[in-house]
A and B are shown apart, each in its own frame.
Chain A
């Protein structure tokens, strides 16, 4: 038998070499000069190679970076292989990826000075079975994002756990064609955030004990704007009860503690079949961007939003935003599971006000319509009305996200 296996292995190797697809595995162990050895491996890797990190704790003094396409960085598991940035002296990222078709999997990143793993401008980035954690618990001095694909295309985040991010645990920004699934975000300011993205499926995740569970946002003044087409489904968005600890100035600092799902200034967002429970401010919040802006192409309103088939527990019992307490009182003691600010009018920078048709399909409720009308108006000026449902019966759902066949998965 042994001989047969050896022969088969040799044959397989020969085929691989003949096919020109011979991939090396570069093994790196923790220990002295881990920084230089690991960074050298990430520089010397050739397309197709695997950089394999042994179990143990890699004590790193600087951020790491990878700029070679088709490389897999793998560890022995998120509880076995730890990239520890406790003594990081430079760079913002734990690991920065700028090359296509990269997989990072089966390892942990602890206490990165800013972001855990960032990919910028990458096509086909797969982040699988990772743990990204700030081990001192929620603190404003923790890094911003756990996993941070930005300006990337074909993004897979699968079985990723993030704890303690002072902005969003799982953040995807200005990207296209995204899947976030089977992941867990807890004790972050935002659990999962999809911002200025085109096409995302966020499903089968658990987002709990954050200030806000799942956010779908669009912000002005960025190269990719006009975020649209996100489906949020089959998630557990429960007990988001960590007091918002984001440093002031950041957009997420304005997310009320106890937000379940929040959609801001985005379109074609469908929120369905989730369990949404124990979120003190609100179950589902549909709101306009609150600040002034100078970008003439920006639309600050949520529109074409569908909310249906979710299972709600107790939400909206402690609304943590200006006017929230009064609203709850006016609506019978707590806020209904779904809340819309009722804004349908905004002023174009340097131009006139425009009222747009905001199409909503809220098939469940009651729904609180704050009837604020004008973008920028504070919730303290709400004239709330609760109805069993709101808007049309249904809206066309964005298509399911399909990742390329050659994108690495589980």
Chain B
């Protein structure tokens, strides 16, 4: 039998190769399921990922990032964009781009056990979907089971104890809040109409590390035919990166406030009645908070007189509320339980550097 051993090995190898070649192609994303009125009970039903654990995106599901994100309690956020086959995004320089029906934005919130090894022992918390249905955008979230193999629909919100190690090596523990569907709308509705917040053209206009290499996202999407009508990235508007130390403080701070506050604090957002507008497009200094007195802040004023007192971060209500974790005081009201120390530091430096008017 000996002489035949190499042959047998060869036969086994060929057999294995044939098996691989015959491996079934994963079924495509179920666009029909995405478009149904009633959300699926488990995330896997949409087939957005080819593995049950939500790590490997299916065909048509493209990862993306944003220049300046919303702070979410130091969660690691993985974002993906799904477009139905043959469809594309219509470019718009301002506001929300023209997404096709059936498009979905997918965001998974996760904590690695140790941030120095971000890919190891990652605990997935939830995967949120924004789906562009025929009647408009619809938000829904799926919470990952303890076994991390399945994520189930959660409409009424949930609090989960979460622990992680922060960038200083300190162990942190807090109650993570999974939003309920009304809370999704509180941030995502402008003038009552639901829509995405992050993936504006200006916030996508930056590089991303794709599997095939680093590339500007607008360029990448346009090259793949997923985005049409976009100018070359160099002339498209660009949200500054909040954490890019090579940029001046003001554009970084404004970008940070835009991403973290501007969806609610805008003329069409839930906090429109406050008169405080922190979206990037706002130009009225008083509306941005400079010398602006509070309207309904209550104890949120912290005994201070104005939202932003130029040159005096410690006299600025805006900073006081960003640095609080007390419900009724803390801002944003939703989406975090921890203070974003780096964001607070940036806004502190920005206000501190303003010329004083008293």
Contact = CB atoms under 8 A, between A and B. Distances in A.
B273 A39 contact: no
Nearest to A66: B182
Contact of B304 (A43, A89, A96, A249): A249
A249 B159 contact: no
A249 B272 CA distance: 20
B263 interface: no
Interface stretch (A137-145, A177-185, A334-342): A137-145
B236 interface: no
B301 A248 contact: yes
Interface SS of chain B: helix, strand, loop or mixed?
loop
Contacts of A174: 273
B252 to A, nearest CB: 26
Contact of A62 (B155, B157, B301): B157
A141 B301 CA distance: 11
Contact of B296 (A39, A96, A144, A291): A144
Interface SS of chain A: helix, strand, loop or mixed?
loop
A150 interface: yes
Contacts of B270: 98, 120
Contact of A150 (B159, B183, B267, B273): B273
Interface in A244-266: 246-251
A23 interface: no
Interface residues of B, number: 45
B302 interface: yes
Nearest to A294: B286
Contacts of B175: 89
Interface in B291-306: 291-306
B302 A173 contact: no
A62 B159 contact: yes
Interface in B141-189: 155-159, 175, 177, 180-183, 185-186
A223 interface: yes
B97 to A, nearest CB: 26
Interface stretch (B103-111, B112-120, B124-132, B326-334): B326-334
A219 interface: yes
B273 A222 contact: yes
B159 A144 contact: no
A125 to B, nearest CB: 14
A285 to B, nearest CB: 20
Interface string A112-123: 111100001100
A221 B156 contact: no
B287 interface: yes
A62 to B, nearest CB: 7
B299 A166 contact: yes
B317 interface: yes
Given A88-B327, A89-B175, A90-B337, A167 B298 contact: yes
Contact of B328 (A113, A148, A171, A223): A113
Interface string A60-75: 0111011100000000
Contact of B294 (A40, A120, A250): A250
B278 to A, nearest CB: 14
Contacts of B157: 35-36, 39, 62
A61 B176 CA distance: 13
A43 B155 CA distance: 8
Contacts of A43: 155-156, 180-182
A121 B192 contact: yes
Given A43-B156, A62-B157, A221-B292, A140 B181 contact: no
A79 interface: no
B311 interface: no
Interface string B180-221: 111101100000100000000000000000000000000000
A249 to B, nearest CB: 3
A358 interface: no
A397 interface: no
A151 B296 contact: no
Nearest to B287: A221
Contacts of A90: 177, 327, 333-334, 337
A81 B334 CA distance: 27
Contact of A114 (B183, B186, B293, B300): B300
B28 interface: no
16 contacts: A65-B183, A88-B327, A92-B333, A98-B270, A143-B328, A144-B297, A151-B272, A166-B299, A221-B286, A222-B273, A222-B295, A247-B298, A247-B300, A247-B301, A249-B301, A294-B285
Q: Which A-B residue pairs are the 5 nearest by beta carbons?
A: A144-B298, A249-B301, A114-B328, A113-B328, A113-B327
Given A63-B327, A294-B286, 14 more contacts: A35-B157, A43-B155, A43-B180, A88-B327, A113-B326, A120-B270, A121-B192, A143-B328, A150-B296, A174-B273, A219-B293, A222-B273, A249-B302, A249-B305
